[in-house]
């Protein structure tokens, strides 16, 4: 949507402004005799300040700006579309330098051979929307084509059960939560880490697991990470050939996609007419793949909205064949306060609670990852 709104020319303009800020800073540093690692750059400048990197970084931090410590002698500075002239002045000041001249957008501080010559964003949609009203109408047009919960019941049961209210979701967009940089210095992230640790401890209680990690950040990524953990567990046991992942027909499409990406072979298990996992078919598929069985991915309650009463049998059958149980927790909301997923399959289930992901108990059990 950013590209739709700005179009090819707009994006180029933003890139040129970003680059001009980097050039302004580079010129100020060079003029003051501070060497740069390279004369060719786009948005990132490396300044050589022998023995002074920490002092420069501390001065910039006082002005509310975090710079990158490459090593004791080198500081990295990156500009972007949110950078202002005042930022550049403050950064220059941290180096003890004054900006006297501003670079003009449109001139380039890198080898001309690197300049893009091919067209991009050529589709009409990237050229027809340039006002908020046009954008609003475009989004509305797209929404009108969508079959979603704001219109009707939709077939993927999980979404209804996991649906969070807008008020609960709002906090995610607060800059205090959303604005933190992934490389923020540890001493500036104490509050975030407290919140995360507290959330993890709540999830430990809710799930019954011994530990929880809130990485990675989506259900599909959690599946992928969890399956890698299962694969790692089998490899650590010398089980190189365990690569079959059983997936019920009712599963969300991401389950199969994650399994394939994690290097597993997908074998689909039938569902019964009432939506539960077909135990006869499961038994057969386990038998056919016994030595190769890596895992089953189940969703509880399932995407059909069914609390599968056979869930313990499913776990037992898979465990008995040496497989692991991965639980997709997209529907965890529907379990909270009623049941702890840990109890489905003894100590060896993995839970993907969506957006969070849990590292399990030790105690000789498998080194499991449970994603939430
Ligand atoms: C059962 C189930 N698994 C996995 C996913 C994928 O989650 P995400 O969209 O957070 O990657 C979904 C998404 O709705 C889901 O319903």
Phi, psi of 329 (to 5 degrees): -95, 25
Q: 216 C-alpha vs ligand 1 centroid, how far in Å? A: 13
pLDDT for the residue 86:
97
Q: Is 245 helix (H, G, I), strand (E, B) or coil?
A: strand
Q: What span, in angstroms and rounded, lies between the C-alpha atoms of 308 and 299?
A: 9
| Pocket of ligand 1 contains residue 159 by CB under 6 Å | yes
What's the pTM value of the predicted model, to 2 decimals? 0.73
Cα–Cα nearest to 261, from 212, 225, 208, 302: 225
Contact 324, 368 (CB under 8 A): yes
Q: Express each pLDDT in 24-39 by its tens digit.
A: 999 999 999 999 998 8
Q: Which atom of ligand 1 is nearest to the CA of 303?
A: 1
Tokens 């010129």 label which residue? 27
User: Residue 352: exposed, middle, or buried by beta-carbon count in 10 A (0-12, 13-18, 19+)?
Assistant: buried
Q: Would the CB of 204 count as within 6 Å of ligand 1?
A: no
pLDDT at 333: 80
Residue 296 in contact with residue 318, Cβ under 8 Å? yes
Out of 172, 256, 354, mutate this one to test ligand 1's pocket (max ligand atoms within 8 Å of CB): namely 354
pLDDT at 330: 84
Cα(87)–Cα(28) distance, rounded to whole angstroms? 13
Domains observed in the chain: 2-114 (3.90.1150.10), 196-371 (3.40.640.10)
Residue 367 is predicted with a pLDDT of 30
Residue 219 Cα to ligand 1 middle (Å): 5
Give pLDDT tens digits along the chain (372 positions).
Answer: 999 999 999 999 999 999 999 999 999 999 999 999 988 999 999 999 999 999 999 999 999 999 999 999 999 999 999 999 999 999 999 999 999 999 999 888 888 888 889 999 999 999 999 999 999 999 999 999 988 777 877 666 455 555 667 787 788 888 888 888 888 999 999 999 999 999 999 999 999 988 888 888 788 899 999 999 999 999 999 999 999 999 999 999 999 999 999 999 999 999 999 999 999 999 999 999 999 999 999 998 888 888 999 999 999 999 999 999 999 988 888 888 888 888 887 544 455 554 333 333 333 233 333 333
Give residue-wise pLDDT tens across range 291-321. 999 999 999 888 888 899 999 999 999 999 9
> What is residue 346's predicted lDDT score, i.e. its pLDDT?
56
Tell me if residue 282 falls in helix, strand or coil: helix
């Amino acid at each position: 949507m950013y590209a739709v709104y700005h179009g090819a020319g707009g994006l180029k303009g933003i890139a040129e402004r970003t680059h001009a800020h980097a050039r302004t800073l580079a010129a100020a540093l060079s003029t003051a005799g501070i060497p740069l690692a390279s004369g060719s750059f786009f948005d990132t400048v490396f300044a050589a300040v022998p023995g002074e990197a920490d002092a420069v970084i501390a001065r910039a931090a006082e002005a509310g700006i975090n710079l990158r410590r490459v090593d004791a002698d080198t500081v990295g500075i990156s500009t972007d579309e949110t950078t202002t002239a005042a930022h550049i002045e403050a950064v220059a000041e941290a180096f003890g330098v004054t900006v006297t001249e501003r670079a003009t957008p449109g001139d380039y501080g890198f080898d001309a051979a690197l300049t893009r010559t091919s067209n991009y964003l050529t589709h009409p949609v990237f050229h027809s929307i340039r006002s908020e009203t046009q954008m609003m109408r475009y989004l509305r047009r797209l929404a009108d084509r969508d079959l979603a919960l704001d219109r009707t019941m939709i077939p993927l049961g999980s979404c209804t059960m996991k649906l969070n209210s807008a008020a609960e979701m709002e906090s995610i967009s607060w800059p205090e939560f959303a604005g933190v940089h992934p490389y923020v210095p540890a001493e500036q992230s104490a509050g975030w880490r407290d919140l995360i640790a507290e959330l993890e401890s709540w999830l430990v209680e809710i799930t019954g697991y011994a530990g929880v990690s809130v990485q990675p950040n989506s259900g599909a990524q959690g599946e992928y990470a969890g399956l890698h953990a299962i694969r790692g567990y089998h490899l650590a046991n010398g089980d190189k050939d365990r690569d079959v992942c059983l997936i019920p027909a009712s599963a969300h499409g991401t389950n199969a996609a994650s399994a394939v990406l994690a290097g597993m072979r997908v074998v689909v298990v039938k569902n019964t007419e009432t939506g539960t996992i077909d135990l006869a078919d499961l038994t057969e598929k386990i038998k056919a793949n016994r030595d190769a069985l890596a895992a089953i991915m189940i969703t509880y309650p399932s995407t059909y909205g069914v609390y599968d009463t056979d869930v313990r049998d499913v776990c037992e059958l898979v465990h008995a064949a040496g497989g692991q149980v991965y639980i997709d927790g997209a529907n965890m909301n529907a379990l909270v306060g009623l049941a702890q997923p840990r109890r489905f399959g003894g100590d060896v289930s993995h839970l993907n609670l969506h957006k969070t992901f849990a590292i399990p108990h030790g105690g000789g059990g498998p080194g499991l990852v449970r994603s939430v």
